[in-house]
Structure 1
Amino acid sequence: MTQVEVILKAATQLFAALGYDGTSTRQIADAAGLNIATVSYHVGGKRELYLAVIERAHQDERAALEASLARFPGDDPVVAIHGLIDDYLDFCVEHPEVPALWMHRWLSDAGDLTELEKEYVQPLVAAVATALEPAVAAGAIDQDVDLQFAIWTTIWCVHGFTKGGVLDTDGRRRAGGDPAVVRRFRAHLHQTMHRALGLPGQAP
């Protein structure tokens, strides 16, 4: 692993855990086992590090979404919609740092960086909306559904689950690292979005 990769890995972990505002360049350097001068030489200051981390997270998320949309809509739009939901949940469970980064951001983190949503979030949401529009036109999705809010409901739910999880009977948090809890959440998410979108039949 190169020094740049070590730095970005450490920065990603810290920004995901503490947010941009709660992380210092010194913390990143210490976590990477390097001095601040070396970090600055390879990547720059905290702002440049954060932008590099967000860019990498976006590229991973975009690649996963493009792969999912390439299989869409298939022979059955309802099955395809549930497949899209599954793919998004799987991505966030496998890459919990991505929803964690955005959860911090949505809680007013890195407020001086004003273009992140326009550059990274809106194009992905728009791509999903465009992919779903034929299902609306065909009547598979209820035409009274607010598609933008339906997409965001999925995002909010998945991010909340992967970041915060659910409490078990002993009050301990269970999230993406617990396969049984992921199965329960997946079933719940399918039921929720099936009803929210007004899809025909039963949720798979």
Structure 2
Amino acid sequence: MRKSSHTQGQEPVRRGPGRPRRGAREGPPTRELILREATALFAARGPEGTSLRDIAARVGIDVSSLHHHFPSKNALYDACFERVHEAERAALAPLVAELARTAPQGGAPFAAALRALAEGFVDFLEEHPHTTFLWLRRWLDPARGTGLDEAYALPLYGEVERALLEAAHAGTVREATPHVTVRSLVWAAHGHVTALAAASPVERERERYEFRVWVRRFLEALYGARPDAGAAGAGALAGDGVIIQRPLD
């Protein structure tokens, strides 16, 4: 006869009211904890200044357990970039798609899509500043780690460049160097995040406001509406191609 799971006459041990199940009490999976702590350390110290022992200690595991998830520091370093790239793409992909959709028609829809994408990128970096410092550490050695750029930066930026080129081919904007334009905005946004990191609370508010004003002015100066586009854009091109600025609203 099968034995009862508890002694006859005794009630089985039950969870207290509101007490979470074991799975609910556990934190993030170990792999995610490793990536989180590794990203923070790589962003602060770079790969040369960070050891696997440092990361394992921050997570509260031994190095052999870390190796179970990542066979080497290079593999972990790459995974950190993949993680921040996935978050960035999730945040920006809808904005990039809207830019591509509005590129052929130009005018107000394209101008709005440009501004939304630029400000969305800035918002993402402000919310995830480790992304900036992870990339800045990588760019300190331009010849090393170019595969990271090709895998986790250039594809997304390339989509933006193609949208700008499509708008140029459609005659809705003037853009001969989209790669330089995108790179300039990316570097400016990263510089903005570094300024925030060193600023006081009051200075941070001023930096946030002034940088967004600059982004709008930059985009208006580059992509102000052409005369034949009516009043769709935020700026207008004079006959000699000089931008005539209109006040920011």
Whole-Å separation in 2 of the counterparts to 1:141 and 1:43: 47
- Indicate conservation of the 8 Å contact 1:89/1:158, yes or no: yes
SS in structure 2 at match of 1:71: helix
Q: Which amino acid aligns with 1:184?
A: E
Q: Partner residue of 1:67? A: 94
**CA shift at 1:104, angstroms?**
1.0
**CA shift at 1:157, angstroms?**
0.2
RMSD (CA atoms) = 2.4
Select between 96-105 and 65-74 the one with higher mean Cα deviation: 65-74
Counterpart check, 1:20 vs 2:53: no
Q: How does 1:32-181 map to 2 (within 5 A)?
A: 32-72=59-99, 73-74=101-102, 76-108=109-141, 111=144, 113-143=145-175, 145-165=176-196, 173=199, 178-181=204-207
- Indicate conservation of the 8 Å contact 2:192/2:207, yes or no: no
TM-score normalised by L of structure 2: 0.70
| Identical-pair percentage | 32
- Indicate conservation of the 8 Å contact 1:21/1:109, yes or no: no
Instruction: Specify every segment of 5 or more residues in structure 1 that has no aligned partner in the other structure, as ranges.
Output: 167-171
Instruction: Specify every segment of 5 or more residues in structure 2 that has no aligned partner in the other structure, as ranges.
Output: 1-27, 103-107, 226-234, 236-245
**Structure 1 residues 110, 43: CA separation in 2 closer, same or farther (over 3 Å shift)?**
farther
Structure number with larger C-alpha Rg: 2
Cα displacement string for residues 79-138 of structure 1 (whole angstroms, at most 9, x for unaligned residues): 221111111111111111112111111111792x44112222221121001122232234
Select between 116-125 and 82-91 the one with higher mean Cα deviation: 116-125
Whole-Å separation in 2 of the counterparts to 1:63 and 1:38: 30
Whole-Å separation in 2 of the counterparts to 1:122 and 1:152: 10
Whole-Å separation in 2 of the counterparts to 1:114 and 1:157: 20
**CA shift at 1:142, angstroms?**
2.1
Aligned equivalent of 1:185, options 211, 223, 233: 211
Whole-Å separation in 1 of the counterparts to 2:83 and 2:135: 13
Whole-Å separation in 2 of the counterparts to 1:109 and 1:49: 20
**CA shift at 1:186, angstroms?**
0.9
**CA shift at 1:161, angstroms?**
1.2
- Indicate conservation of the 8 Å contact 2:196/2:204, yes or no: no
Q: Which amino acid aligns with 2:224?
A: L
4+ runs deviating over 4 angstroms: none
Whole-Å separation in 2 of the counterparts to 1:138 and 1:114: 33
- Indicate conservation of the 8 Å contact 2:91/2:124, yes or no: yes
* Bigger relative CO (Cα 8 Å, ≥ 6 apart): 1
TM-score normalised by L of structure 1: 0.84
Number of aligned pairs? 195
SS in structure 2 at match of 1:165: helix
